[in-house]
Amino acid sequence: MGGAIEEGLKYVLPSCQTEDYILFLNNDTWFGEHYVETLVQTSRANGDAAVGSVIHEEGRDPPLVSIGAKLNVNRLAVWDLLSELSEAEKRSPSGQYCVDALSGRGTLYPAHLFRRYGGMRPYLLPHYMADYEIAMRFARAGVPLVVSSKAIVYSPPVYGNDASRLSWRKRLFGRRSPHNVFQRLIFYSLVGSPLQRISAPIRMAYFSCSRAFSTWRSLAKRKEETI
């Protein structure tokens, strides 16, 4: 994804004017009539913000399945803001939300941001995490990251990042896996404070071992309970 978006940026940026926008959008999604207008209005109302979309899953009730990413860089943890909402708010969300990163599944950026702060980094992040990295880079420069609940991207039940059928080897090391350990290490070495970037390999090793041990203990306890 990162490499494909970078090629697109190289093609469109030379012809972009000051007031133009660039929209990141996956090819397995679709949207309604006033979608782009909503994104542009939200960006202007929030001081030239980068604006993401909520994701509605086809055939699901309630349809809202994603708002946007929240991150704890110290603990190398990523979760969706949706998990923090009550059941009532999931059915009737607020107008907009602030997030820590934006995905490529429907995000509008003022075009001038790419000239000022650079584009994608396909040699470092050729696929997953590239969209989060560029959004967080803009945020460090003071660009607001918001998600409009009125800007809806519709998606099929199975996303392109589904890794449930991959072997453990491809899940951890495959280039197209969202769980690729090398891509995650590079990502955490690019975001956060200078100290967080330098310490990313140590923290990643620690939390990986800690979470693996926790999973092992949970499985062992479950096995004991069934005996």
pLDDT in tens, 18-71: 899 999 998 889 999 999 999 999 999 999 999 999 999 988 889 999 999 999
pLDDT in tens, 193-210: 899 999 999 988 888 788
Answer yes or no: are the C-beta atoms of 112 and 168 closer than 8 Å.
no
State how far the Cα of 129 lies from the Cα of 194, in Å rounded to an integer: 19
The whole-model pTM stands at 0.84
